[in-house]
Amino acid sequence: MMSRAALTHPVDGRFGAFGGQYVPETLMSALHELEDMWHEAKADPQFQLELAGHRRAFIGRPTPLYAATRLSEHFGGARIHFKREDLCHTGAHKLNNAVGQALLAVRMGKKRIIAETGAGQHGVAVATVCARFGLECTVYMGTEDMHRQAMNVRRMKLLGASVVEVTNGTRTLKDATTEAIRDWVTNVRTTHYIIGSVVGPHPYPEMVRDLQRVIGDEARDQYLSLDGKLPDVVVACVGGGSNAIGIFTAFIDDRDVQLVGVEAAGKGIRSGEHAASLVGGRPGVLHGAYSYVLQDGDGQILPTHSISAGLDYPGVGPEHAFLRDIERVEYVAVTDKDALAAFKLCTRLEGIMPALEPAHAIHHAGVIARELGPGGSILVCLSGRGDKDMDSIDGG
């Protein structure tokens, strides 16, 4: 089994066989600059102090650990705790990454920011930090996602962002990402691309992971203070995979802690209408990195489906692919129907409305809770709040 050192420092931009830099030559110098600048900033006490200040006063960290007692009673098994990333400013974990990358962009002298977004939470986070630091902001978003996340589109525009509608392809996150990369190729000297998950070419998977690991570092310390020991299982939803990597990283070396990533099974894996790259895909290249992707026999990227816009992506971060193959993390998939039921259950029993993304994780936490029994303990990354999903819920 690999050590944490091997996981923390990808070799030549790869986690095992996964990762890399499959991009046009015009972007290579920008990626090298970004990697150098990120490693320089990580080692700079002044940058870390500034980042810590923004985490505390702007994001609202540390986020609390919450005992979901009524949900635990309902499942009749293990105790369930939530790491409350839904309480971050803007309503999701996405701001952890956006703040760090915005500070990096300012350090590099880049005045223009671009981003892609699916559920809209990353777009809102990027628009928010651009307003905070006085940066020009353009967000690419598929037509389908703009319709089901209309409120977040309005939020981004109010924050001063230009939201570009992407009408080609499946009109979802994959196509928005493709358009953002095209923009970056054209405007690479003046523009920084804030990728919203642990996907894309190196150094993004490592950099976004490092910015999101504050979730796991906090949660681990909080759980030890609360219980005197670590949870039996840590569960998180996986689209691109940033909230999951963020919480898993702190527990990688704790072999007694089971790690479970939950993908979107949509209408069922056998139906073909899903977004579960690790459960139902195979290795290939997408958006600059080699990882598990949903593709046909000719290597063409397949359309995806999920009730959750944030999980509706045909690829996954390369570190997740690595963790899958070395069997350190178990990956499962949960259907739209079960995620919707978990959304409603959590809302009614806990007074907490989760986003549809972590609702997938909450459903599977219930399955595990019954298996573990009353003596067990489960930590769930509640990565975002669900008010953005009301139109999808009404439709469901």
So which residues are the catalytic ones? 94, 116, 383
Can you tell me the distance from the alpha carbon of 243 to that of 245, in angstroms, rounded to the nearest whole number? 6
Nearest to 167 by CA among 147, 192, 187: 147
Nearest to 234 by CA among 222, 216, 208, 253: 216
Residue type, 355: A
**All residues at 6 or more sequence positions from 159 whose CB lies less than 8 Å from its CB, including other chains:** 124, 127, 128, 130, 131, 137
The C-alpha torsion from 201 through 322 and 317 to 109, rounded to 10°, is -40
Q: How far apart are CA 105 and CA 354, in angstroms?
A: 31
Q: Give the Cβ contact number of residue 370 at 10 Å.
A: 12
Measure CA 7 to chain center: 18
Contacts of 43 (CB under 8 A, 6+ apart): none
